[in-house]
């Protein structure tokens, strides 16, 4: 079997498991119990700390730190927590992604998890017990506090800050310097500090193949939630009727029903 392409100055723990096609650049450190899948490229000066599984065809650029023990003061090195990175992710310079904690061991197995096909730009931070979906974009300096859940196709503008335990639904969009202190429903654009819902993410939805009718129904739901001045019980009842003709409205209703603190 061909050995991985490891630079002579890199340090790879004997207990790490690297696919033969993996490349590890100069001065990088790969710790014990780190698994790296086929075709992944680890640049120079990267630190990877286990327990962690990294999937296929990922690119991790210089000075990133992935899998390190959480900054949560309850975290201990010997706890059964980990980091899971999916496939086809790009993790740029100085990104920090930290492993999970026992605080969510029952619900999230103590994992911090990043899905597939995500672009995480320079200086971003993903804290303990966060779960990130697929096809997201984190612009520079986006930071997630602990226990945040990011859906699929979410785009976050530079310097977005997300408070702990918040959720962002699929196709949500945050403007630059947004401070997220409430859950952001699917398809919604927010901005400001604290961030407030502004409009539906129409351009993003068009790029992803949503029809004009799909977007019209989503906009009707948005206006009901945020512009009607109706109490939430009335909003949910009307959304339930609207959802009979739209799976996307149903998705928004399901998100609202599950939310503990909705962005308003």
Domain with 29 in it: what CATH number?
2.160.10.10
Is 129 noted as a catalytic residue in this protein?
Answer: yes
The predicted structure's pLDDT at residue 7: 97
Cα–Cα separations (whole angstroms), residue 45 to 38, 74, 120: 20, 28, 17
Catalytic member of 88, 125, 128, 135: 128
Indicate the residue among 80, 115, 150 that finishes a domain.
150
Catalytic member of 37, 67, 146, 158: 146
Whether residue 264 is contained in a domain is answered as no
Cα angle, residue 148 at apex, residues 146 and 151 outer, rounded to 5°: 155
**Cα diameter, the chain:** 66
Please tell me the number of Cα atoms within 13 Å of 183 on its side-chain side.
20
The predicted structure's pLDDT at residue 187: 98
pLDDT in tens, 206-218: 999 999 999 999 9
Q: 83: closest CA among 21, 138, 12, 31?
A: 31
The predicted structure's pLDDT at residue 46: 98
Neighbouring C-beta atoms of residue 213, cutoff 10 Å? 10
Whether residue 171 is contained in a domain is answered as no
The domain that holds 214 is classified in CATH as 1.20.1180.10
Instruction: Tell me how far apart the alpha carbons of residues 36 and 205 are, in angstroms, rounded to a whole number.
Output: 33
Is 67 noted as a catalytic residue in this protein?
Answer: no
The residue segments making up the domain with residue 27 are: 5-150
Catalytic member of 87, 116, 129, 183: 129
Neighbouring C-beta atoms of residue 152, cutoff 10 Å? 19
Whether residue 68 is contained in a domain is answered as yes
Indicate the residue among 109, 132, 150 that finishes a domain.
150
Indicate the residue among 83, 115, 150 that finishes a domain.
150
Sheet harboring 96-98: ordered strands across? Answer: 11-12, 29-30, 47-48, 65-68, 96-98, 125-126, 143-144, 161-162, 179-180
The predicted structure's pLDDT at residue 2: 67
CB 116 within 8 A of CB 134: yes
Task: Tell me the three state secondary structure of residue 125.
Answer: strand
Is 128 noted as a catalytic residue in this protein?
Answer: yes
Q: 136: closest CA among 199, 81, 91?
A: 91
Structurally, the chain folds into a number of domains equal to: 2
The predicted structure's pLDDT at residue 4: 78
Residues of the chain scoring pLDDT < 50: none
Whether residue 179 is contained in a domain is answered as no
The predicted structure's pLDDT at residue 108: 84
The predicted structure's pLDDT at residue 71: 97
Whether residue 234 is contained in a domain is answered as yes
The pTM of this model reads 0.96
């Amino acid at each position: 079997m061909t050995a991985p392409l490891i630079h002579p100055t890199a340090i790879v723990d004997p207990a790490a498991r690297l696919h033969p096609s993996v490349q590890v650049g100069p001065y990088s450190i790969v710790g014990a119990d780190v698994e790296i899948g086929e075709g992944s490229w680890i640049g120079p000066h990267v630190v990877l700390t286990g327990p962690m599984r990294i999937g296929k065809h990922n690119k991790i650029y210089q000075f990133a730190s992935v899998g390190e023990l959480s900054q949560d003061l309850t975290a201990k090195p010997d706890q059964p927590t980990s980091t899971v990175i999916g496939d086809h992710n790009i993790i740029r310079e100085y990104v920090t992604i930290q492993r999970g904690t026992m605080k969510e061991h029952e619900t999230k197995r103590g994992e911090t998890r990043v899905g597939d096909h995500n672009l995480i730009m320079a200086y971003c931070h993903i804290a303990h017990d966060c779960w990130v979906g697929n096809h997201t974009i984190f612009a520079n300096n986006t930071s997630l506090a602990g226990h945040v859940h990011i859906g699929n196709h979410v785009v976050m503008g530079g310097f977005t800050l997300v408070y702990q335990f918040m959720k962002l639904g699929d196709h949500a969009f945050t403007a630059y310097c947004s401070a997220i202190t409430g859950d952001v429903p699917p398809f919604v654009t927010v901005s400001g500090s604290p961030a407030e819902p502004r409009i539906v993410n129409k351009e993003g939805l068009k790029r992803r193949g949503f029809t004009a009718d799909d977007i019209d129904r989503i906009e009707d739901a948005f206006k009901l939630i945020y512009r009607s001045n109706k109490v939430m019980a009335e909003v949910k009842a009307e959304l339930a009727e609207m959802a009979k003709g739209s799976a996307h409205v149903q998705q928004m209703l399901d998100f609202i029903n599950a939310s503990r603190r909705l962005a308003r």
